[in-house]
């Protein structure tokens, strides 16, 4: 797992591919199942996302993995997805038990979906713009 120490925040930040329809649907799902409003969001293409990619020494055009910044650590791919699920309402948190599946297996499945997400789910021309009531949860 690639993780780096970062400044501590009072929220967890999810960085996602803002033009990916699957990714946007996933963010909508998280919003609907995050009654504690634990998560904030930024697209990887946004200025904030680009700053984080630079801070993590990542390619600024690499949008193939969701990133989760949590407690000063960075999680990616299946690790990020499982840590996100762990804090959702309802039975979704039980998916966290999948952390016992070897990461190489989890990430192989993750990479397969990531590689084909545009072909299967489509792509938008622009990043999602949140409505006014959700704007506070999105970093510009």
Tell me the pTM.
Answer: 0.85
Residue 5's pLDDT band (cuts 50, 70, 90): very low
Residue 4's pLDDT band (cuts 50, 70, 90): very low
**Separation of CA 20 from chain center:** 12
**Residue-wise burial string across 87-118, b where 16 or more C-beta atoms lie within 10 A, e elsewhere:** bbeeebeeebeeeeeeeeebbeebeeebeebe
């Amino acid at each position: 797992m690639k993780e780096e120490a970062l400044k501590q925040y009072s929220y967890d930040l999810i960085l996602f591919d803002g033009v990916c329809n699957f990714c946007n649907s996933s963010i909508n799902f998280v919003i609907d199942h995050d009654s504690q409003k634990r998560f904030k969001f930024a697209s990887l293409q946004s200025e904030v996302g680009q700053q984080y990619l630079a801070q993590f020494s990542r390619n600024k055009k690499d949008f193939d993995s969701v990133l989760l910044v949590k407690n000063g650590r960075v999680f990616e791919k299946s690790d990020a997805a499982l840590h996100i699920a762990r804090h959702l309402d309802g039975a979704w948190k039980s998916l966290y038990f999948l952390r016992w599946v070897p990461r190489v297996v989890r990430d192989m499945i993750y990479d397969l979906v990531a590689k084909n997400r545009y072909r299967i789910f489509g792509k938008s021309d622009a990043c999602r713009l949140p409505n006014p009531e959700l704007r506070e949860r999105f970093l510009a």
